[in-house]
A and B are shown apart, each in its own frame.
Chain A
Amino acid sequence: MSGFRIQKEKLPGGVVLLGVKGFLDAHTFEQLEREFNNTFDAGSYRLIVDLSGLDYISSAGAGVFIEAIGVAQENEGNIVLIRPGPNVKEVFDLLGLSQIFIFKDTRDEAMKSLARVGA
């Protein structure tokens, strides 16, 4: 049991939604890294990541997001994060990542935000 799960969904306009659940740490971060890479390899660079099911994130997990947003933006895409719990948001804040990532409350708001990027 890894304690971390990802659900992937294709949304209109080529946007990909990743729903992450459980614990994202040094033991599980490679699963997310692989999923981002698979998504990029398929030519999708506009992503929404739903963090509402994420119970915990450490810097190993945050590092995956740092790398991924770099790749997405280099390819005229972006990554929008939605609905982080307070503990998860705190880690982004502590690392100064809240100024780099766009956070939205809903999938619709995230879609609107991505519609302005490279569409």
Chain B
Amino acid sequence: MSDFLKDRLTVSNDTRHLLAVRDFISRMARHGELAAEEVHKIILAIDEAVTNIIEHGYNKGEKGTIELEAEWEGDKFQVVIRDSARVFNPESIPAPDMGEHVKAGRKKGLGLFLMRQIMDEVRYRYKDGVQNELTLVKHARAKE
């Protein structure tokens, strides 16, 4: 596939916009050669990333924006998420032992776990003095 497709969505840091985020990712992800269940999982991973920024990045009551840039390049679907919330590097959080985590009734960290499970790459970068930039990549594999 040689298509190149790119689009952007900017939302404020309010969970009411998660529906719009999911619609945007759904529309973009469907352009490639991904099976429907893979599209669903990618939507989930991006929802989790945006939720983390809203809930843990920005302070309560603080107004901020979250910019999503989704693109297909060949068989690579990439979503870059930028925000100006406090520095948060998900790479610094170790992967939890999910069995123990759940048995103990802990809810935190589930979103990050899902992002890592679903996406082929999860990369974080802090652009000096400006913003957090989280890049999530999924490679399309041939449909069965």
Query: A residues near B, CB below 8 A?
Result: 3, 23, 25-27, 56, 58-60, 62-63, 66-67, 70, 86-87, 90-91, 94-97, 100
Residue in B47, B102, B106 whose beta carbon sits within 8 Å of that of A58 in the complex: B47
Residue in A3, A23, A25, A87 whose beta carbon sits within 8 Å of that of B40 in the complex: A87
**Any A CB within 8 A of the CB of B75:** no
Known pairs A58-B47, A94-B117; A27 contacts B98 (CB<8 A) = no
- Bound-state Cα–Cα, A23 to B16, Å: 11
- Bound-state Cα–Cα, A32 to B47, Å: 19
Residue in B103, B106, B118 whose beta carbon sits within 8 Å of that of A94 in the complex: B118
**Any A CB within 8 A of the CB of B19:** yes
Query: B residues near A, CB below 8 A?
Result: 15-16, 18-19, 22, 37, 40-41, 44, 47-48, 51, 54-55, 98-99, 102-103, 105-107, 110-111, 113-114, 117-118
The CB with the most chain A CB atoms within 10 A, among B40, B98, B102, is that of: B102
* Majority secondary structure, B binding face: helix
Known pairs A90-B40, A95-B102; A60 contacts B51 (CB<8 A) = yes
Known pairs A58-B51, A59-B110, A87-B40; A66 contacts B102 (CB<8 A) = yes
- Bound-state Cα–Cα, A60 to B49, Å: 12
